[in-house]
Amino acid sequence: MPEEKKTSPWIEEYHSLLFQIMGIYEEWSQSYGINLHEYMILSYIYEHQERCLHKNIVAELFLPTRLVDSILKQFEQSEMIEYWVNIEDRREKIVRLTEIGLESAQKVILGGHEMERKAREKFGVERFDSLAVDAGDFLKSLRSALNELKV
């Protein structure tokens, strides 16, 4: 029988914090009737309105293609998004928010930005800025470790 390995306390704490942060965004998005993945995709479309491509949503949000397809189809059926032909590459379609989508997105996204601004102020602007730099550095280290351990 293999030896049971215990999780390090720092890993447990890191996971707990990470999942709690995700939980806050889930709670925020649910208050607007959408789930966390829908919130992520809606945010991405909102922030990249002029050049939002399906493949970029998948790549930059690290979400499965099927999930993105399903959510975009749902957004299209509820008339929140529409597709435009990319004049630079006619094989690609640009995802854009409709007026309905823009109105919905602004409520949840701009409200989320306000929540984040308030949290940054309460936390301390300098502390947050330092945290953001450290998190970026940790992300690079995590990406490097992932690449080293991939089979």
Evaluate whether 35 touches 102 at the Cβ level (below 8 Å). Answer: no
Looking at the structure, give the CATH architecture of the domain made up of residues 24-149.
Answer: Orthogonal Bundle (1.10)
What residues does 85 pair with on adjacent strands? 93
Which residue in 34, 36, 35, 40 sits closest to 61, CA to CA?
A: 40
Residue range 50-91, pLDDT digits in tens = 889 999 999 999 999 999 999 999 999 999 999 998 888 888
Task: Please state the rounded mean pLDDT for residues 23-44.
Answer: 97
Predicted pLDDT at 76: 97
* Domain map (residue ranges) of the chain: 24-149
- pLDDT at position 2 is 56
**Which tokens in the block code for residue 12?**
């447990």
